[in-house]
Structure 1
């Protein structure tokens, strides 16, 4: 993973990987409880149940921990989306889209304070390449979903439809996280985002089909 550059020592053995995972989970808990400004390496090490020396053995400071945590979240989200797209085969278009979208919303809805922090601090952590990759991979998976369900859509430029859809969903989530983060905790968020996404898919596909005819 690209975050290997954030490590002082790359964890290769099972015990080392377990220590790093414990530190990343402790970082998420500390940020969720205290916010990034108040979270400290001492606190993170205490929550993880390791010595501060073990923490610094792998990470040079809390910013490196923050960056590695975000990169891990990106990888986990992408893997969850891939599995949801695979699981959507054989489902009606709307039901399949909702299944994929539910995986997209896993982190924002289950750990809203952490997600809101991640959105705010991404520019400061030098993670633009990781975010760009996440957008590309999300668009690729969305396109794969559209290809699976293309019988439910008019002929269209699926690459364009996928990119526009990913942009709209990410933009909406980032706006909520920045301006109204409390909305991330509402159970109705999935319904609102599903209505937005399905409406966008239908309209975008219809316009793309019209432009090609």
Structure 2
């Protein structure tokens, strides 16, 4: 489920959506914004920015700047990944404000430009900027060129290991779904299902 603030960001910036979040470019850099499950306590907002591979010096400078500005930017934690940075905002009492998310976007875009980190408005796999499209890959936004997208499809169709993992996932899903039905059978009494709506206080 996409929450209203993420939807508002997507509308304002003409971004794309996944089942759980939104993604797109901001000042040339690629961001994903999503929220934790409604059932999680506390609530979290997640922001991921794609950086491409970073030199060790760039990584250290970004880490130092983020640690120094953590209170000002109001994020709970961050993690520098191989090709991006992941941020978590805890929403215990109040929700993360839009201006807080935009402040993080602006801060990161300025830092990346200062550190000569290339904009991520091209294919995330090969770096081309021709014939690119936005894709939803496992609920994460990504930019791929037509060639890389077609290669990924071809790899899936021809790679035996990938097919086996895919088919195993289908079989496991089928088995788990079957277990749910078997479990329901145990809750039947006199051929009647004993599941009823919860009562209100």
Larger Rg: 2
Q: Which has the higher contact order (CA 8 A, sep 6+)?
A: 1
Alignment TM-score > 0.5, same fold: no
Pick the TM interval, shorter chain: under 0.3
The structure richer in helix per residue is 1
The structure richer in strand per residue is 2
